[in-house]
Amino acid sequence: MAAFFIVTKGKHPFGEKPDRLRNLLDDKPVGLHALKNPILKDLLSWMLSHDPNDRPSAEEALKHPYLHPKKQQFEMLCKMGNQQEIKAGESNSAVVRRLNSDPTDWKTRMSPNVLKYLCTDFKSGKPKPFSYKSSWTDCLRLIRNVNQKWLDRSRPMPQPEAFYEVGNPQEYFLNLFPNLLVEVHRIVRSCDWKERPDLKEYFTKGANEERNPGNAVVIQEGEPAAGANEERNPRNAVVIQEREPAAGDPSKYFYVSVNSMYQSESDTDDFQVNSLASANQIRKTYLVTYSQADLRIFPTRQSFGEQVATYFDEGTGKVKVEHWACCQESHENSGVHYHMSLKLDGAKRWKQVKEKMMKNHVVVLHFSNAHDNYHSAYQSVTKQDTEVFLSPNHPNLNVIGSPRTKTCIRAFRESRKRKQNENANAQQEKAKKIRRLSNFEVSEFLVANQIKSETELLALADTQSKEGKKDLANFILCRSNKAIQELIDNTWRLQNARAKLDRKKKSRIDLLRDARSAECVDGCNGEWIKCAREVLKNNNIHPVVFASALKDILTKGRGKFRNVMLVGCACSGKTFLLDPLCLLCVGI
């Protein structure tokens, strides 16, 4: 109960006080229905078993998949698929029968292209001589086979679309079949399979002592690693240290070319020439470049950005990443580059991040110090790529009005002409004038970002100002509070004018039809009509008679014998019946 109390932030697993004792005696932990995570629900349900003998010990509970990293969860499924009874599909096995008791066809959850791709031989590219059935034991076989053969597949460029849809097999299968992990663990923990040597580590104590202390994954033959890793590395192997991958990061399962270890530091583009940061320099803002990116290692902007941010966040230091943006640019000859603007909440060196990327992914990064603030680095990243990926907590730094890149080019050309002109002084005074935002530009910005209050606008202006973009803050400070509020009000009056005009042209009966086809307001869920009929029934009024009277008065207007008056005692539902019509006809 304590675990449920903590997870649900103070709720009781057996409901509220009036029904709690009855639910407890009847073994009905009604609170479990509110949990959306099936793995967590299974753990708590196991711990709340009515019979104390059915509950797990502390050691058994700590071995539940919910408390394991995703890598270990996926390993358990793969090892289940490697059991002889599973591979042979022995129907006389109780575990096989229980697994296949669910008639759901797992193939229907996968797209046909992905299923076809996973059922082909990764080396030859030809279909496998056998096919997978719709049973869940065959699903475990597929998971085990994909995990074993994923690194052996051929690597033509570009890869099939199904390859990118799978991305990281671990993330793909765990997200596609979230209940499979729960069902496998529930079945195995109740039988003697949990004592098998290859499954024992997931169910009994001492499992971690039997596992590889390095938790290394061999990905490609090459020179043996140096240093502390020599004791646990297999001979002539490059390894990746175990870690929990970021969402969408398939780096563990991508082929790493050892030749890329020798990529030249000078293989950069004009994006950051002569601006490489010193390894000992401490900064809060960086511009990171991955030149000639290998899309087999980082196929998307998101995967590259999340990996760099993860390495900056690692360690015991307090400095963490605030936000970042990542773009992809095509090289003038061939290939692509990744450029990433990144801001930390304090100063930090980049050397450790570069070493980790080289050690774990054989990727060479370049760090630029050409930008003094984040907004400047962000503009460099977003100047060409229209599909820049932003971190979830990234501030809104959208340009208001025309792009500043064109203004900079125009200013440079005018400055060059002024140096050749005898009237340079007069023209320089004109150039010094700061370009200010117009009311119309700010109005368009308000609509584009759905800003409807002065507080929202002030907060956004403050965020942009801290990132070095001060034009919106300058606009606000040069105007009174009344002028800013009038601008916001007039903007939305202008935006909503057409809708109000169209509404005024409709009759009340048309508005009623529109409301009927629209969705219910929040909290209604279709219950109003049930309550309205009950109110009419309690007052001996037939619903058809009431509806006909309302239709006449809405269609023809008020007149003799066409008035609707509800008479009754207090709290009889009169206001409840007519309030929706009043709200519907406001402004008509």
Write out pLDDT tens, residues 397-408: 876 654 445 455
Q: Which long-range contacts (CB under 8 A, 24 or more apart) does 1-6 make?
A: 1/48, 3/43, 3/44, 3/47, 4/29, 4/31, 4/32, 4/44, 4/48
DSSP 519: P
Copy the structure tokens of residue 227. Answer: 């240093």
217 pLDDT band, cuts 50/70/90, is: very low
Q: What is the mean pLDDT of residues 539-544?
A: 84
The pLDDT of residue 151:
67
Residue pLDDT, tens place only, 271-315: 333 345 566 667 889 999 998 888 889 999 999 999 999 999 988
**Residue linked to tokens 């679309």:** 161
In the chain, what is the straight-line distance between the N-terminal and C-terminal CA atoms, in Å?
56
pLDDT at residue 240 tops 50: no
Average pLDDT of 363-384?
Answer: 84
What distance in Å separates the CA atoms of residue 337 and residue 324, rounded to the nearest whole number?
16
Structure confidence at residue 278 (pLDDT) = 63
What's the pLDDT score for residue 389? 93
- Write the pLDDT tens digit of every residue in 486-508: 999 999 999 888 888 887 787 77
Q: What is the pLDDT of residue 399?
A: 60
Strands 389-390 and 336-348: unpaired
The CATH 3.40.1310.20 portion of the chain extends over 282-402
Bridge partners, 329 (sequence order): 337
Architecture label for domain 68-202 = Up-down Bundle (1.20)
pLDDT score recorded for residue 320:
92
Position of tokens 């229905």?
33
Domain 282-402 has CATH 3.40.109.10: no
pLDDT value for 45? 82
What DSSP line would sit under 66-91, residue for residue? GGS-HHHHHHHHHHHHTSHHHHHT-T
Q: Which position has the higher pLDDT, 38 or 221?
A: 38
Q: What is the pLDDT of residue 323?
A: 93
User: Higher pLDDT residue, 132 or 372?
Assistant: 132
* Residue 527 vs residues 101, 183, 466, 576: alpha-carbon distances, Å: 39, 37, 49, 13
Residues of the chain with CATH 1.20.1440.180: 68-202
Least confident of 278-287, 542-551, 555-564, 569-578: 555-564
Predicted TM-score (pTM) above 0.85: no
Residue 412 has pLDDT above 70, yes or no: no
How far is Cα 328 from Cα 336, in angstroms, rounded to an integer? 7
Residue 399: helix, strand or coil by DSSP?
coil
- The residue type of 105 is D
CA atoms within 13 A on the CB side of 259: 2
Two tokens, residue 395: 């501030």
Give just the sign of the alpha carbon dihedral 239, 241, 242, 244: negative
